[in-house]
Amino acid sequence: MSAILDIADLTVEFPTRREIFVAVDGASLTVEPGEIHGLVGESGAGKSTIGAAVMALLERPGRIAGGTIRLKNRIISGRDRAEMRSLRGSEISMIFQDPLTSLNPLFTIREQLTETITTHLSVTDAEAHERAHDLLARVGIPEPDIRLDQYPHQFSGGMRQRVVIALALCSEPDVIIADEPTTALDVSIQAQILDLIRELANERQVGVILITHDMGVIADTTDRVTVMYQGKVVETGATRLVLGKPNHPYTKSLIAAVPRPNVKLHRFPLLSYDGRATEFRIDDLARNWNKADTDSAKPLFEISGLTKRFLQKRSFIPSRRQYLVAVNNVSFDIRQGEVFGIVGESGSGKSTVARMIAGLYRADGGTILYGGQPVTGSGSLAWYRRQIQMIFQDPYSSLNPRMRVDAIVAEPALHHRLLSGKALRHRVDELLEHVGLGAAAGLKYPHEFSGGQRQRISIARALATQPRFLICDEPTSALDVSIQAQILNILKDLQEHLSLTMLFISHDLPVVRQMCDRVAVMQNGRLVEVRDAEALFASPREAYTRSLLKLMPRLDGLATEGIQDQVEA
């Protein structure tokens, strides 16, 4: 079998005023018909740049500085724009990461499909409409007749990604480049979309390049995999071999950092490949920590009958108003010093629960008792707010870009009038030092830091008031695996040494298994079950929990080098 796409020695450069940044450095890979070829690496590795180079959609001023791209034995790199445009969509197609933003919101699905079909195929209007209908049916969208005339906002995320795939299939391409096609989707939807891509590859003998940072997706879906690091290909081969017996030290460190669904580790091994890992220094922080003397027999939180509804349709008449019940009669306790996890798909209400506990939303029903005191009613809650802090999902939007890092970290303590002047400056320096950024980081602005470093800033900020309770809402889902491992280690250390109690929200089940002592499963606003984490993962009771666990990537074949000594008994 001959390769349908052959990338040889590809080099992509981005000239800037000062220097030439080499985004891809001599990368080679081939894709066979019907094969799904995984391209894995962390952000900045150059994997998306390869996809853009093949599509000739490199952002300016990027350019292909060397090497060739062959499609069916024809060289397609270095052709002019008009020629490339006629290839795009017809012989090679692309699927983007975020289905919510990759469809034009102002045109119906029919308009977008037929426009693409008539661009590439010489067909009559009627034939184009018929083809559009067939494509929607093919990608598994029910009632294509009705759906064709709807607009993108009337589709859910998973359905939109199916529409995107239908658009990519408009003219029978030979190669599809899928750039993180399921990263923005729920696990159950992710599985469906990956199945669909798999089917299409088998059925139509399309070659697929699947770009992702998710080892689970690579392990479950791809035939071969290429691992990239800083623009270079470090390893390539059959997926089973590369993941099971990695040769290159970078691949080994990457695989070791992947949270395992089947075993709980005490700490994540930081096989630092290039010495990037900066260790978190917890001991001095613990010495100065203002530990509350607590009665650990009593639960910290007692939550009963918690309910939240959002107004969906306004009306003058109360009986005609329509509500979305986001959280429906949820009760659980959070014990002193434990990490309590909430898992569920998007829309299950897990973040809403966290926001009600944080006091960001007012509960419509039920009570939250903190150390026996109600915190849902009216009255000053300053004492309560001082003891709880929150770490958000997106490290980019959760820090004010116009504030200096020292001001960001100091703000909570300043707000609660805990410290001022020298003592405050000392606390900020100390915290930045502890989270591994160094006190000098305080003089910079958030944009000068990477995602992982920003999340460290968020952690420092959350610790500024010496809280007893930390709410982490998907704290690592925007981060690369190796960075995720570092952040999770920091959180574990905090919990152990500072006897913090944590509420940990995530849709990533392997991460939850690593982090949590007890886990609550939520579905459509209701609590399905609350169990000890290990018991839940080992023997789920409820049918919904079982189906959720079944969707976890199995990762059985992954190398276990470096993680054995961390396995908890």
Residues 110-149 that bind another protein (CB under 8 A): 115-116, 119-120
Are 210 and 178 contacting, i.e. CB atoms less than 8 angstroms apart? yes
Applying CB under 8 A, the span of 20-28, 85-93, 392-400, 451-459 interacting with another protein comes to: 85-93
In the complex, minimum distance from the CB of residue 41 to another protein, in angstroms, rounded to a whole number: 21
Which residues make Cβ contacts (< 8 Å) with residue 142, sequence separation at least 6? none
DSSP state of 96: -
3-state secondary structure at position 312:
strand
Question: Which of the residues 218 through 277 are near another protein (CB under 8 A)?
Answer: none
Q: Give the Å distances, CA to CA, from 198 to 51, 178, 191, 336.
A: 19, 12, 10, 46
Q: Which of 106, 297, 543, 569 binds another protein (CB under 8 A)?
A: 106
**Smallest distance, another protein to C-beta of residue 511, A:** 27
E-assigned strand segments in 62-129: 63-71, 74-75, 92-95
Q: Is 487 in the site for another protein (CB under 8 A)?
A: no
Q: In terms of CB distance, is 145 or 293 closer to another protein?
A: 145
Whichever of 349 and 452 has its CB closer to another protein, that residue is: 349
Query: Using the rule CB under 8 A, is 87 a contact of another protein?
Result: yes
Site for another protein in 166-185 (CB under 8 A): 167-168, 170-171
Binding residue (CB under 8 A) for another protein from 153, 362, 546, 554: 153
R_g over Cα of the chain: 26
Distance CA 558, CA 555 (A): 6
- In the complex with another protein, the residue whose CB is nearer, 154 or 560, is 154
Distances (CA, A) of 132 to 94, 146, 196, 206, 273: 18, 12, 17, 19, 49
Q: Which stretch binds another protein (CB under 8 A): 11-19, 84-92, 240-248, 422-430?
A: 84-92
Q: What is the largest CA-CA distance in the chain?
A: 78
Q: Of 167 and 478, which has the nearer Cβ to another protein?
A: 167
The H or E element containing residue 58 is none
Segment interacting with another protein, rule: CB under 8 A, options 90-98, 223-231, 258-266, 536-544: 90-98
CA 529/CA 536 separation, integer angstroms: 9
Strand partners, 370: 301, 373
| Contact between 11 and 24 (Cβ < 8 Å) | yes
- Integer Cα distance of 37 and 60 in angstroms: 27
Does the footprint of another protein cover residue 107 (CB under 8 A)?
yes
Closest to another protein by CB, 287 or 447: 447
| 96 binding another protein? (CB under 8 A) | yes
**Looking at beta carbons only, is 28 or 171 nearer to another protein?**
171
Kindly list the residues in this chain that would bind another protein in the complex (CB under 8 A).
Answer: 55, 57, 85-90, 93-94, 96-98, 101-108, 115-116, 119-120, 151, 153-156, 159, 164, 167-168, 170-171
